[in-house]
A and B are shown apart, each in its own frame.
Chain A
């Protein structure tokens, strides 16, 4: 069945640096990818939706210049956290969906710690 791979699973970076997270659909074409953020003991909050070949649509309150999303191919989307600060430390999760299907499949998540 549909497999979504997210890399890295954990990353620690220094404050002020940028971090790139990759989300790959391994066995299907992901026409849409979603990026979520989960703080400890909280639910998943949708950050942005990206469709292949077009600009991402960000949810209200999410800074598009801070969280850069690229979805250049049907199997890969990337989230870059620019100029990371400790408050950006969180669990980032992607999901991928094929056109015409109602279900999106989740990656394993990336735990980002900014020190």
Chain B
């Protein structure tokens, strides 16, 4: 079964700072990778996803992520954060061989100070 590790539990930064959230997964086969965001008191929203092709994926709200197969990583980045990016961020992975069950990382709380 696959597992997902998010390195940062809580990140605090100021508006306009750059953000990078780490995500590593453990699985030997072909995977699909996702980043989700959950704003306070709200439901999950998909930020971006990677299935195949260009390893640099652009998502909504100015986010992007890079899949590095050799490092089993799928880090999320945003060049300049806004106060409205304050939220919980989840990395997730699934695989066809595991019936596409999504495994989630523990999540990273991002707090952006105005």
A41: chain B residues at CB < 8 Å are 109
Asked if B107 and A42 sit within 8 Å, CB to CB, the answer is yes
Asked if A109 and B102 sit within 8 Å, CB to CB, the answer is no
Binds B, one of A13-21, A61-69, A77-85, A96-104: A96-104
Give Cα A66–Cα B102 distance, bound, in whole angstroms.
23
Interface residues of B in 71-114 (CB under 8 A from A): 90, 94, 96, 99-107, 109
Interface residues on A, range: 10 to 19
- A55, chain B: closest CB distance, angstroms: 14
| Cβ-closest chain B residue relative to A46 | B101
- A5, chain B: closest CB distance, angstroms: 11
Asked if B104 and A44 sit within 8 Å, CB to CB, the answer is yes
A residues with a Cβ closer than 8 A to B are: 32, 34, 41-46, 49, 93, 95, 97, 102-104, 106-109
